[in-house]
Structure 1
Amino acid sequence: MDGHTTHGDMAATLFEAIKIMAGWSPEDGSEMQLHLLEAMGILLPQWGTVLVQDQIPPIDKAVFAQAKHQFGDDFGVQAWYLRSVGDDTHSIAYANGDHNDVASFDQLANVIGLGATWRIGDNIRLSYDWGQNRTDFGRFMNGNTIYQHESGTSDFDIAGRSNGGTPRFWVARIDIGKADTDKPGSWNAFADYKYFQHGSFFGGNGTEGVPDRYMDGIKSFTIGGGYVPAKDFLLEAFYTFGAKGIGKRDTLYGPETFTLGDYTRVQATFKF
């Protein structure tokens, strides 16, 4: 017996021996921990799958560059580039049969984007933006867990993970009018369609009407508008609907498609 053996190890070994010799099967053979034994400091090995939510880490530091060009008064284009810098190594453990594998990444974001805006008259504006996150991390997050499933049973064995394609995003939007707090009675309205594959979005979407969770691996519609009832006073409302997962997400019984509920936000802004 070496110096690293604990009383908990000894008790667990004795407990396993009693189970074998006496044929004892506590809690109907469940592999969950016995709470009484936990209180005594006895931790027994467990088998099973731990479900965790994919978390896209925030970008701490990044380099950003943008170029714009205007063709006449009504049409403009832009290109932009974002690359995270100084990323810590980000490791993700995932099941593969009876053991875990670990994927490590030292680059979270290497994003290129293109956009265009077309103004129609004085009150209508059409815009479109497209981009990709060209990193191994993005392709990993855009991938899928590999399941081995015997038809007619509830057994799902995890056999690793496959990478997806380079995750991309795009947004198409139409704006009408302009709510100007210096002009009582002015108003604006908009509608957009958003498509963000998992691994292409890092949080902080810049919109007041849509939470981040409606942008990560989600496609959805949003309509909204604003009205200025008095000088320096702005009323706004936003409604997001049709929010659906672009790909499947892991569950206890294999990958499943998913939807999100509709989201409404109403807000008032007063300028002092």
Structure 2
Amino acid sequence: MKAKVLAALAATMAVSATCAFAANPFVDVPTDSWAYKSVVELADAGVIQGVDGEYFQGQRNITRYEAAEMVAKAMAHMDKATVEQRALINKLADEYADELNNLGVRVSNLENKVGNIKFTGDARLRYRYQNGVTDNDNSWDYRIRLRGTAQVNDRTTATVGLSTDNQNFGDNGTASGGDNDVFADIIKVDYNFGSPNWNLSVGRDSDWVIGGANSYGYQYGDVADRAELKFNNGKLGVTAGYAKLKEGLGGYFYGDDDIDGVKAAYGEIEGYFGNGSAAGVYYYNFNGSSDTWVDDNGVGHEFNGDDLWGAYASVNFGSKWNVLANYEHVNTLTNSAVTGDDSADVWVGRLTYGKASMAQPKSWDIWVEYLDAEDGAFLGGSTYGWRFSSYMDNIQSWGAGIDYVIAKNAMFSVMQSFGTEMKDGSQDADQYEKEQTRAQFQFAF
């Protein structure tokens, strides 16, 4: 009975996109098992927990009550399922109706999942410090976010999210970004074309990342208004879209100008392989308001539609190791005195052992990374990474960190840079070469 339920749940759970790099939590499921991918995805989604948190015991028959528990958790993910997947969930719900009713789950026609709103959220308490550079009074901050997702119909979902932004404990509690207001960081509609492979998403997203969710996210990972069409069949992913950035200060070649309002047309092509590995290429063309300035040598510069292209590869070795390599080439500006565009490169490498999953208490990972960014490589302001965005340009640096899930939906993380050196002498090396420290608690609800 376990094989039947597992296969059906694996077919209905739309979690593969978010679990591309999940590690196997069970010591008795070999990587060459027919059920390996389904087991890992379902465990990372919190649908199955195993025995004692370590063993899957695939040869053991499960009780109908245990099967009903897994079906109930799949029902909680109905907002991610297609029409065909909902039909399979309905069949499972009918088969285990008595057990589900004993669990307090209403199963008649499952109509309660259509038109209702599901609320989720998260909270973060963060400490960031860089000796001699950052304001010590503003080293602590917090952020609280609330999300509501409505299943409008079988093909359409609407999501609205609110965020406090990063509120620090200095300067009378004003936000570290200079705005103390709660704001809408998600306002979007997702439409499925009747096939699980095609999806159109229009509106504001809180975690839009240059390079896509599988890359390092060196340039930008923050709020953006965008229209995005995505194809993903589990082996190939193709994304095309147009976005307007909403947050963050510019990099070195933007001076202190805000990049809020800079637009980007983009495309990404990704391939997905066995054991959660992936590789991809991407191209972004930016178009912002014209900006000119004169450098220290008296040479005039003009911001004139930057673009970048990049490539990444994320490879899993066994069930515990992951290697990520990411390269980006940035055409940063047009020099008004010299023909041609200046450009800069950035290399990022990260090695990770383990997998910290918020759904799996006591899970953990540890990682080390290397960053090499030429002068002018950094365009964005708020990155998906953990470093201070003011010191992402013109550096070579190492970093290390650990993530540990204290309890379900509660994780503690520590990050530290080391060996940081400025690549050339055009900026203040005394600031750029001071190391950065970050620690945070994250909670999901």
Same fold by TM-score greater than 0.5: yes
* Cα distance in structure 2, aligned partners of 1:164 and 1:257: 29
What SS class does the counterpart of residue 343 from structure 2 fall into? coil
1:204 match: 382
Task: Kindly indicate whether residue 246 of structure 2 is the aligned counterpart of residue 246 of structure 1.
Answer: no
1:204: Cα distance to partner?
A: 2.1
1:222: Cα distance to partner?
A: 0.8
Kept after mapping to 2: 8 A contact 1:248/1:258:
no
Q: How does 1:115-130 map to 2 (within 5 A)?
A: 115-130=312-327
Instruction: Report Cα offsets for 1:102-141 as digits up to 9, x if no partner.
Output: 333322x21010111111001110010001112444xx6x
2:87 match: none
Q: How does 1:1-272 map to 2 (within 5 A)?
A: 55=255, 57=257, 58=259, 60-73=262-275, 75-85=277-287, 87-94=288-295, 100-107=298-305, 109-137=306-334, 166-202=343-379, 203-207=381-385, 209-249=386-426, 259-272=432-445
Kept after mapping to 1: 8 A contact 2:332/2:376:
no
1:213: Cα distance to partner?
A: 2.4
Output the TM-score relative to the length of structure 2: 0.39
Kept after mapping to 1: 8 A contact 2:332/2:377:
no
Instruction: Name the amino acid aligned to 2:382.
Output: G
Instruction: Report Cα offsets for 1:202-231 as digits up to 9, x if no partner.
Output: 122211x31112311111111001111212
* Cα distance in structure 1, aligned partners of 2:324 and 2:356: 18
Instruction: Name the amino acid aligned to 1:206.
Output: Y
Q: 1:80 to 1:111 in 2, by over 3 A?
A: same
Kept after mapping to 2: 8 A contact 1:172/1:193:
yes
Instruction: Report Cα offsets for 1:227-267 as digits up to 9, x if no partner.
Output: 1121221111000112211121157xxxx797421111111
* Cα distance in structure 2, aligned partners of 1:201 and 1:270: 30
1:191: Cα distance to partner?
A: 0.6
Kept after mapping to 2: 8 A contact 1:235/1:268:
yes
* Cα distance in structure 2, aligned partners of 1:65 and 1:228: 35
What SS class does the counterpart of residue 224 from structure 1 fall into? strand
* Cα distance in structure 2, aligned partners of 1:133 and 1:105: 13
Give RMSD over aligned pairs: 2.8
Q: 1:104 to 1:175 in 2, by over 3 A?
A: same
* Cα distance in structure 2, aligned partners of 1:216 and 1:95: 18
1:164: Cα distance to partner?
A: 9.3
* Cα distance in structure 1, aligned partners of 2:407 and 2:295: 56
Q: 1:135 to 1:211 in 2, by over 3 A?
A: closer
* Cα distance in structure 1, aligned partners of 2:299 and 2:351: 46
Q: 1:71 to 1:178 in 2, by over 3 A?
A: closer
* Cα distance in structure 1, aligned partners of 2:409 and 2:430: 45
Which protein is richer in helix relative to its size?
2
Runs of 4+ in 1 over 3 A off after TM superposition: 71-75, 160-165, 256-259
Tell me the number of residue pairs that the alignment of Structure 1 and Structure 2 aligns.
189
* Cα distance in structure 1, aligned partners of 2:361 and 2:342: 49
* Cα distance in structure 2, aligned partners of 1:167 and 1:56: 19
1:163: Cα distance to partner?
A: 9.3
* Cα distance in structure 2, aligned partners of 1:196 and 1:102: 23
Instruction: Report Cα offsets for 1:39-95 as digits up to 9, x if no partner.
Output: xxxxxxxxxxxxxx862642611112111013444543200111112x222211246
Alignment gaps of 5+ in structure 2 = 1-251
Kept after mapping to 2: 8 A contact 1:220/1:244:
yes
1:151 match: none
Alignment gaps of 5+ in structure 1 = 1-52, 141-159
When Rg is computed on C-alpha atoms for both structures, the one with the higher figure is 1
Output the TM-score relative to the length of structure 1: 0.62
Kept after mapping to 1: 8 A contact 2:304/2:333:
no
Q: 1:115 to 1:229 in 2, by over 3 A?
A: same
